[in-house]
Amino acid sequence: MAGYKAKDIQVLEGLEPVRRRPGMYIGSTAPPGMHHLVWEILDNSVDEALNGHCNVIEIRLEKDGGVTIKDNGRGVPVDEFQKTKKSAMEILFTTLHSGGKFDHDTYKVSGGLHGVGMAVVCALSEKLIAVSSRDGHEWTQSYSQGKPTAKLEKGKATRQHGTSVMFKPDPQIFPKTDFNIKWILERAESKAFLNKGLKIAVRENGKTHQFEYPEGIKDYIKKMVGDGSTLMDEPFYVEKEDGSMKLEAAFVWTSKTESEIHSYANSIKTVDGGTHETGFKNGATKAMRAYIERRNLLPKGIPNISGEDVREGLTAIVNVYLSGEVEFQGQTKGRLNSDIASQVEGVIKHSLEHFLHDQQSLGDRLAGRVVMAAQARIASRQAREAVQRKTNISHRLNLPGKLSDCSSTQRDESEIFICEGDSAGGSSKQARDRKTQAILPLRGKILNVETANLAKILANAEIKNLISALGAGIEPKFEYSKLRYGKVIIMTDADVDGAHICSLLMTFFFRHMPQLIENGHLYIAQPPLFRIDSGKKSFYALDEEEKDSVIKKLNGAKYEIGRFKGLGEMPVADLRETTMDKNKRAMIQVKMADKENADRLFGQLMGKDAHFRFRFITERAAFVQDALDI
């Protein structure tokens, strides 16, 4: 305490705080944080479009690892700033909390509200070159790590107007500086969807991707739903100005059981939702409740309609434009905090209720969908409670009879193999390490949970055995602390049926035990399909390609090839050595890089609509060799 004096206090000047603590401004120095630099500059260009000054934006990935974002807006001001001798451009790129967005006459609507975006990008860039076309000339200035490296230069005469910013992320700040083209394309496309009439081009490696959508978010909804089964011919769309707020929403009910709601504020994606999303949910729920009540469509035994019932199968986009002060949570703007929930709720409730009554045949169909969701919710709750009552009575004594448990009670060293059939289960029991490896054989193919309600899922004997063996229950009451095994390993035959069973199990885990995947507990065993014997040596191959590689390495030596028909017929020694021995086996850990995309793929490939599966198979059939497995 005594040694703590004024000399120990540091005052960070200029943009040094940004370089010292970048996570405070962009979330992290991981790839998502680095891409936030692109979003900041892109949002500035989109703000020009929102205010009617820009209709074309270009994003170009440079060969040196940089990125250029160019628009045809008004151009960054270059005149001398107030009492300083610096240009407005230099102030904007080198000073925190500077910008035109604090003045509501300059920007009536804006996503970049904190006045730090351009300066933060400059501070975290190894190199940044800004070009402003305005007042009849091109004006250029270069920067590095938040400081100018040259004076503002007046260039050639031009009649064009707009801003171009080229920057290269600083490798001293970011461990990885490669841009993810997929993320940039998705962001560019969403900006084009959200701003009717705006053209955005992304150029990389000689390719150009163009985005322009005349119907805005209605086009976005149609793309999200694709060819999937919907209850409506066209998405419901509402656009309304209410004081300082303009609301735009489009939504449609599908045959899926999950909801997908994307919310935006001033074209910024609010990944954590906020008041506009809350208002939308409340408005949709109240409108549907009022319609069902007025039409007397609620059957006996259903006490009420919940928001969860209304949102089942709902795909929606909610976008608000706010003028004046807009409150986001954090610099990365993940959540909208502005007090507009009641405004949004009122607009959605009034417009949706009017729409339902105006088209009663469609309204009744949608109401029936909601009532069915309520009935399934109540039935599922009752089934879940019944299962929980049974499993809560001394869980260890109620483990499934087919489970050959391990002796260890330490989760980190214990693992369970889920295999198909008693035959494979018998071989696995003989090949396992009894201390740390448990075996649970399942009878054939489990229920496809993507097409079944929760009551039917919980009534399935194989799924009940699986839930009971793992010991942690299922969502929404999954208790991670009660999970009994550190590794949950799907072990199926290396054939088409085995792949199908593996897909069904992965669907179950993704939908009802997602924490298994998120926390790295789910694995897929890789049993070999072939054994190649040459002299006294034996080799194993997972597939035809690996088999051919092994034979090639034998350099003409004599060999014999055996093909394993299934795990149940594989010799115990082979099964132990290739698939279960912790020191020799090969396994794939199931990871989830993009939960939103995974959700969509499971819905499409495992759902009721066979069209997606048919298209998926036919598009890839040409790439599959030896597709027929006999």
Nearest to 485 by CA among 433, 425, 418, 409: 409
The CA distances from residue 465 to 274, 408, 477, in Å, are 40, 20, 17
* Strand, helix or coil for residue 188: helix
- Interacting residues of 339 by C-beta distance below 8 A, sequence separation 6+: 275
Cα–Cα distance, 577 to 335 (Å, whole number): 52
Adjacent-strand bridge partners of 296: none
Which helix (H) or strand (E) segment is 275 a member of? helix 275-294
- The residues pairing with 157 across neighbouring beta strands, listed in sequence order, are 137
Active site members? 420, 493, 495, 497
Contact by Cβ (8 Å): 384, 403: no
What's 171's DSSP letter? T
In whole angstroms, what separates CA 204 from the centre of its chain?
24
**Burial (Cβ within 10 Å: 0-12, 13-18, ≥19) of residue 248:** buried
Helix pair 360-391, 275-294: axis angle to 10 deg: 110
What is the rounded CA–CA span in Å between residue 53 and residue 32? Answer: 29
Q: What is the DSSP string of 391-458?
A: HTS-GGGGS-TT-B--S---GGG-EEEEEEHHHHHHHHHHHS-TTTEEEEEE-SSPP-GGGS-HHHHH
d(CA 610, CA 606): 8
Cα–Cα distance for residue pair 219/198, rounded to 1 Å: 14
Structure tokens at 97: 């909390």
